[in-house]
Structure 1
Amino acid sequence: MIPVYVRQAEAVRKQLIGGTKEECLGTLKFLHLYILCVKNEYAGHGIAAEMCKRMQKIAISQNCEKLSAIATNHYAQIIFKNLGFDFIKSISYEDYIDPVTGNKIFKDMPKPHEKMVFAVKTL
């Protein structure tokens, strides 16, 4: 049996991306960032932005055509926007109803986190 949290994560991914990343991005040549996080004590020092810039350099060196990420917090979304990513689709935390449980599983997200986005940059 697949755990509930795995089914929930897949449901969110499907709602944001639709089919596969390859189908959504229109290419097999992409780099997808799965997790971007910095320890709280180091937040606000540009570390996450620098990691994203390095990710882009790696993608270019590997002849990728696109970069993608699912940004689940406000601060990551600012970084991606500042680095030229487009937000293809978003899901409002307040309105999202989990199809697995029927519950509003993100209803208590703290401010300023209001949505998650599928971010894409063409290289």
Structure 2
Amino acid sequence: MTEAIDQDLIHGKIGCRRLTAADRQVMLDFLLHHFLPREPICKVMEKLYPGKVAEVLKDRYSQICAWNNASLIAYNKQTGENVGIIFGSLRSVADKKVTTPNNELALVLRLFDALNKDLPSYVGDGQYLRVAWSTVKDTYCRQRIMTKIRKRLELVAKELKCSYITSESSSIYTQKITKNLGYSLKNEIKFVDHVDPVTGTRIMKDVEPPHYCIRLMIKQID
């Protein structure tokens, strides 16, 4: 039987559905209360500039949520509780490059620019699906929900006619999942080695172990 996007991730227990514009508050809850407090880079920036990361990402992803059709939510089938999310966005190398803002978060954007400097050579000029962020609630960890929902995202990519899925991750746990799902490592920046080209600072040197690098990983979708 052909797998469907809305098929159970764990039979009879954990369901899966598309994120819609009506899920804006659900998305923000995952972003602000489950993703940001655990994501290694966000934790560093939050210590340096309290509240800034949440403020910027809240606005950005609220806008994307209104038209995005490339994200999935995992939910408890017995209680209806939303337990995990993978937030994707459709991208193209031809998209207009966003000007790096002159604020504290520019440090992070320049890190991502360095990570993605050779992206066109990996994904070509067609449309691709970028995993912006993903998380599972603490109480639902160790059930392989993130592995399953990330695998399910491949069906979304196929439906949207994307040839590649890209993933930028700073968590060693996410890096392990993507590797096991067949993603190829294309670039890696170790936090201890990264020097911001504008300020000359090593702002990411204080990322908490066991996390030690950010990786660009890509999977070609057949």
With structure 2 as the length reference, what TM-score do the two structures score?
A: 0.50
Match of 1:110 in 2: 208
> Does residue 34 of structure 1 match 2:135?
no
Residue 215 of structure 2 aligns with an amino acid whose one-letter code is V
Q: 1:60 aligns with which of 158, 174, 177?
A: 158
Contact 1:17–1:24 at 8 Å: present in 2 too?
A: no
Larger Rg: 2
Give CA deviations for 1:77-122 in whole Å, capped at 9, x if unaligned.
0000000000100000111112243221111222221111001001
Match of 2:107 in 1: 8
Unaligned runs of 5+ in 1: none
Residue 104 of structure 2 aligns with an amino acid whose one-letter code is V
Q: Tell me the SS of whatever aligns to 1:34.
A: strand
* TM-superposed deviation, 1:23: 5.6
Residue 98 of structure 1 aligns with an amino acid whose one-letter code is D
Counterparts of 1:98 and 1:47 in 2: how far apart (Å)?
35
CA RMSD of aligned residues (A): 1.8
Q: Tell me the SS of whatever aligns to 1:119.
A: strand
Counterparts of 2:125 and 2:134 in 1: how far apart (Å)?
23
Counterparts of 1:122 and 1:27 in 2: how far apart (Å)?
14
Query: Residues 96 and 54 (structure 1 numbering): CA distance in 2 closer, same or farther, change over 3 Å?
Result: same
Counterparts of 1:97 and 1:43 in 2: how far apart (Å)?
34
Match of 2:220 in 1: 122
Match of 1:76 in 2: 174
Q: Tell me the SS of whatever aligns to 1:4.
A: coil
Residue 10 of structure 1 aligns with an amino acid whose one-letter code is L
Q: Tell me the SS of whatever aligns to 1:90.
A: strand
Counterparts of 2:139 and 2:197 in 1: how far apart (Å)?
36
Counterparts of 2:171 and 2:159 in 1: how far apart (Å)?
28
Residue 12 of structure 1 aligns with an amino acid whose one-letter code is L
Residue 195 of structure 2 aligns with an amino acid whose one-letter code is I
Counterparts of 1:98 and 1:81 in 2: how far apart (Å)?
28
With structure 1 as the length reference, what TM-score do the two structures score?
A: 0.87
Moved more, 95-104 or 62-71: 95-104
Give CA deviations for 1:47-99 in whole Å, capped at 9, x if unaligned.
21122112111001222111101011100000000000001000001111122
Residue 57 of structure 1 aligns with an amino acid whose one-letter code is L
Residue 114 of structure 1 aligns with an amino acid whose one-letter code is Y
Percent identity reads 26
Moved more, 35-44 or 80-89: 35-44
- The count of aligned residue pairs is 121
Counterparts of 1:58 and 1:22 in 2: how far apart (Å)?
22
